[in-house]
Amino acid sequence: MLLPFFQTLRAAQLPVSPKEFLTLLDALRQGVIEPSLDQFYSLARTVLVKDEALYDRFDRAFAAYFKGAELKLDLARSLPEDWLKAQLQLELSPEQRAALEALGWDELMDTLKKRLEEQKERHQGGNRWIGTGGTSPFGNGGVNPAGVRIGGGGGQKSAVKVWEQRGYRDYDDSVELGTRNIKVALRRLRRFAREGAADELALDDTIRATAANAGLLDIKMRPERHNRVKLLLLMDVGGTMDEHIHRVEELFSATKSEFKHLEFFYFHNCVYDYVWKNNRRRFAEKTPTWDLIHKFNRDYKLIFVGDATMSPYEILQPGGSVEYMNEEPGSLWLDRLTQAFPRHAWINPEPQGVWEYRQSIHLIQGLMHQKMYPLTLSGLSDAMRQLSK
């Protein structure tokens, strides 16, 4: 039964190797779990999935095989009958077991398999087809003394087995991210070095020194490990960026926690001859863009965060800023910055599907040498990979 399960995972483009699948089979042979579909789910995900970004894809493939949620498969062969029977002893009251025995387990399973083969469309209500509502023993939200709930939430809570819903929806690499997920992506850009005071116990060195000292304790200390990557973060603020505040705040929070050597500044729409640190005092406390170029060396990796949505005039013309008369166009400053910091990227919170319809985004992509990435787990991972080259 499990070979088609392996094929389903591969069809869902999960990088599951035959060796990992054999490890799962060996674990089952060793009896490391009870005959429970829930425990099998946890075991299979632990053994087969090595990247939490793929949890959601695994959940969908698992659902497709074991409950037919999203893919059309031969579901009749995938029903784990022995596991369901064992689970009855844990989940059903004596009254429910008596009701099920009156109906007959084999009859229930055989009927479900036949319905799965015969039914061609969604069904609502009634007493025969698999659907929602009604009195059929199959589906969800209906009434029957014993049945199999397929998908959805419980109605009368009389199902033989509750086929669990997916759990890790936010880990798919196409979704917008939370702070924790962003940290996972940012960790691709790490180079560790031991810096600062020697205030961390060096256990291996202590053991060696103690042995060399005839057993007398000789404690050795060492500096902590820190990510030595240096990051210069320039963030667009105001205007059309207001609708992206929450996600940009999450990115900013994650970045501050992951990088010790972080310098950040704000700009509006496009970078011109100055940036600022404090938005409330942005007209009083300006930092010339030339200072960024002269102060931070080429070791810094430059990341712009912005939707690149503006009038093309703001990018290409002197005086294009909507706030003051800039003497040089934004395109010239972007060129200077990308020349000063060869490892650069632009993170865009706008959906990638709209990029081709906005002339300003097309212009910024060209000025960034096509190094623009969406604010998704996949996009951030690609950006970190580019910056680490």
Boundaries of CATH 3.40.50 in the chain?
179-191+229-387
Cα gap 164→240, rounded to integer Å: 40
Q: How many CA atoms lie less than 13 Å away from 96 in the CB half-sphere?
A: 16
* pLDDT of res. 168: 41
What distances in angstroms separate CA 198 from CA 216, 219, 223, 225, one per listed residue? 21, 12, 4, 10
Residue 230: what pLDDT?
87
Q: Is the pLDDT of residue 103 over 70?
A: no
Please provide the distance, in angstroms rounded to a whole number, between the alpha carbons at the two ends of the chain.
44
* Residue 118 backbone zone (phi > 0: left; psi -120 to 50: alpha; other: beta): alpha
Q: Which of 226, 216, 218 is nearest to 196 (CA)?
A: 226
Q: Choose between 105 and 375: higher pLDDT.
A: 375
Q: By three-state DSSP, how is residue 10 classified?
A: helix
For 144, 198, 225, 251, the CA distances from 206, given in Å and listed in that order, are 68, 13, 18, 40
For 335-384, write each residue's pLDDT tens digit: 999 999 999 999 999 999 999 999 999 999 999 999 999 998 889 889 98
pLDDT, position 302: 95
What is d(CA 26, CA 316) in angstroms, rounded to the nearest whole number? 64
Second CATH level (architecture) for the domain 179-191+229-387: 3-Layer(aba) Sandwich (3.40)
Average pLDDT over residues 62-81: 52
The mean pLDDT of 326-339, rounded to a whole number, is 95
Distance CA 7, CA 18 (A): 10
Q: What is the pLDDT of residue 215?
A: 85
**Average pLDDT value for residue range 240-262:** 85
% of the chain at pLDDT higher than 90: 25
Residue 132 in this model has a pLDDT that exceeds 50: no
The pLDDT of residue 133 is above 70? no
Per-residue pLDDT tens over the stretch 35-48: 777 788 889 888 99
Which carries the bigger pLDDT value, residue 313 or residue 12? 313
Phi/psi for 146 (5° steps) reads -155, 135
The arithmetic mean of pLDDT across residues 308-312, rounded, is 92
φ, ψ (nearest 5 deg) of residue 343: -95, 100
* Arithmetic mean of pLDDT over the chain: 75
pLDDT average, residue stretch 48-68: 78
- CA dihedral of 291, 287, 275, 367, whole degrees rounded to 10: -10
State the pLDDT at residue 204.
86
Greater confidence, 329 or 14? 329
pLDDT of 181 reads 67
- Distance (Å, whole) CA 256 – CA 262: 7
pTM of the model: 0.52
Residue 101 pLDDT greater than 70, yes or no: no
